[in-house]
Structure 1
């Protein structure tokens, strides 16, 4: 049976995400968290994760729905799939101009868990699908 506390950790992460509570998100990750950004480089450490969250908050408003969470037997790894329902608020460097476009796309995340915290977050979505939606 999957580790219940691991499932609760991921549920708490998504509840914080949907509430826009980046401080709560930070409290759930390890100091050396590895964050793999979709089609980007790995960022290591809580500081860079906080910077990424601040950037995302400025450029996007997102709510995740239809979240399904999978946890391995040991409770050390988890995965999830969900729908991203978003609004493009401010132009992100290298991307089309923002003017409040909305988008909806499937995505997934993989997690490593250690000592009751999230130690890796790797998220994937189809960037071409997002681009097509915001350029319309």
Structure 2
């Protein structure tokens, strides 16, 4: 599978709520660089993050554009997160089923045909303003 197809399949699995399928596309030594917080290293920490996110948020990504370098070892994606805030996340505003629409992006490193790094970016202040309105 080429890099752009790998990233597309990863996000198709995300939108389908198929986190097991997402995990299959990750390198065993995956690093998850989040917008705010510590780097998560390894598939187990990534799986824990996915379980938490599924409890607190329902999200669907649209307007997906995927880029990859010629070597196929680096990629990026730009998209819009369409979400519902389901359960209060500690340190964030109270969840009351608020909806949000947030531009976001991610950067990837590919190793051995799998995703070895996911770095996600979005504007947290924009998200807070939307769920606080």
TM-score, L = length of structure 1: 0.96
Determine the structure 2 residue equivalent to 1:11: 8
Determine the structure 2 residue equivalent to 1:49: 46
Unaligned runs of at least 5 residues, structure 2:
none
Q: 2:88 aligns with which of 88, 91, 107?
A: 91
Distance in 1 (CA, whole Å) between partners of 2:41 and 2:10 is 18
Determine the structure 2 residue equivalent to 1:107: 104
- Deviation string 1:78-118 (CA, Å, 9 cap, x unpaired) is 00100000000000011011010000010000000011100
What secondary structure does 1:82 align onto?
strand
What secondary structure does 2:89 align onto?
coil
Matches within 5 A, 1:1-136: 5-136=2-133
- Deviation string 1:28-82 (CA, Å, 9 cap, x unpaired) is 0011100011111100000000000000000000000000000000000000100
The more displaced of 119-128 and 31-40 is: 31-40
Distance in 1 (CA, whole Å) between partners of 2:19 and 2:31 is 16
The more displaced of 4-13 and 100-109 is: 4-13
RMSD after superposition: 0.7
Unaligned runs of at least 5 residues, structure 1:
none
Q: How many residue pairs align between the two structures? A: 133
Distance in 2 (CA, whole Å) between partners of 1:21 and 1:37 is 20
